[in-house]
Amino acid sequence: MDEKIFEISFGIIGYAGDAKGLAFEAISEAKKGNIEAARETMKNSKEVITKAHRFQTELIQGEASGNKTEVSVLLVHAQDHLMNAMNFQQLAEEFIDLYEKLESK
């Protein structure tokens, strides 16, 4: 496997995992009634996922420039982590909104 693809894959996995962990933490804060902390934690989660997305963009730009990317199980795994983290962030925001509504009643 190309060393660059290896590095990109682990960059995506690491940042996506961190972003998903922060989204879990945000839900936990909301559950405790700390809505402001939950929203701040989600903001941090989104900043981290942007770093993962930059690695993905690097791959896309390379392919658009004519440099074929060798697809490996590790790269597919990395893409899976990124998409799962992004989906989880969306769900986390819905949970935070729900907990906020419950707090206001």
Query: What distances in angstroms separate CA 84 from CA 33, 61, 63, 74, one per listed residue?
Result: 26, 22, 23, 15
State CA 76 to chain mean position distance: 15
- CA trace torsion 15, 76, 7, 87 (10° rounding): -10
Compute the distance between CA of residue 19 and CA of residue 49 in angstroms, rounded to an integer.
5
- Positions annotated as catalytic residues are 77
